[in-house]
Structures are given as structure tokens and as C-alpha cells.
Amino acid sequence: MAKVKKILLIALVSLVVVTGGMFAYTFTTATATIGVSAPTSDFANITANTSITAPTVFGKFTGTWPSAPLFTITPDPNYQGDLVITVSLINTGELVRQYHHLNMELQFKDSTGALADEGSRTEVLNLQNAQVLFTWTSGNGTSPYTVDLVGGGYRLHPFKSLTGGSYQPHLWCEVTQR
């Protein structure tokens, strides 16, 4: 009986060492990036700005997004109508397996930094709401306009890591007539 207790004790200690090592492995730093893509149209030009790397990552599994312009939108000077700017998170199927939560606070601004959206509001893009809309009335603000990431954060599922693969959010911007 004493031999069985000894074996069980050794197995328990081994289990603690292995799981503690897994926690220690995930408790280091890593980075996440956001990829951006943009199409072209006859009434506005969209330029995808450079990818953004998240600088604040804690334990490889939680972090915040920095503020940065994601897309630059320049309406055609001859276009007199209103526009709808749609920003979509297009790889949620991949991201939901890695991220417990992911949210990005977006704003539509003119070249002076003033909110150019008709409602002057901030929109939140996340895994449950993978599309946001901004409305622009012709003549509102000064061109060029930007869709800016102004905040947000993410948290990976337990025992997930940003190393060993690319789990970056991929954003798509589309401008349509209203």
C-alpha cells in the first residue's frame, strides 16, 4: 500500500511540474498585428495603411491595440453624393479559435482630426459584430479622410499563444454610395 501511495505522489508532483511549465511557457511576451486590405471605386479611393503591431502584450495572451490610421479615403472631387464606409473583420472563423475576445474601437475622421461620420460616433468591431458602418454626407469635413483605430484590446483563450502562427485580424474597407 505504501508503494502505491508513493507512485501516486510522484505522479501528482509530475503533473504539477508539467502544468506549471505550460503556464510559465505562455507567460512571456509576443506581438499581434492587424492586416488591412482596400478595393478601389469610381467615387472614392481607399488606401490601406501599414499593418499595425500591438506593442502591449502580457503573458502572450492579452494586449491592447495602439491608435493608428487603418485606411485613408479620398472621395473623388467631382462626386456630390453621400457615402457609406463599411469596415469588416473578414477572418473571424480563424480568430474565434484563438481569441476569447477581440475588440477594436474605430472612428471616421477628416484631415483635421475631427469626426466626419454623420453621427460623430465611435464604432466597435469585435468577434460578435464583425462589421461597422460610417456614413458621410458630401461636403462634411476636409479630405482626405481616415478610418482610425483609437483603442481596443484582445485576450487569447487559455493556453493559446501568438507564437507559432499568424492570428492577426484582417480588416476590409469598402466605400459605397448612399
CATH class belonging to 31-177: mainly beta
Q: Are 173 and 147 in contact (CB under 8 A)?
A: yes
Alpha-carbon gap, residue 100 to 20, rounded angstroms: 22
Domain boundaries, given as residue ranges, for the chain: 1-28, 31-177
Task: Work out the burial of residue 154: count CB atoms within 10 Å of its CB; fewer than 13 is exposed, 13-18 middle, 19 or more buried.
Answer: buried
pTM score of the predicted model: 0.73
pLDDT in tens, the chain (178 residues): 677 677 766 766 666 665 555 444 444 444 556 777 665 557 888 999 877 766 555 556 788 888 999 999 999 888 888 999 999 999 898 888 888 889 999 999 999 999 999 888 999 999 999 999 999 987 777 889 999 999 999 888 876 665 555 578 889 999 998 8
- Grid cell listed for 116: 466626419
DSSP E strands, 11-67: 33-37, 44-48, 52-53, 56-58, 62-64
What's the one-letter identity of residue 169?
P
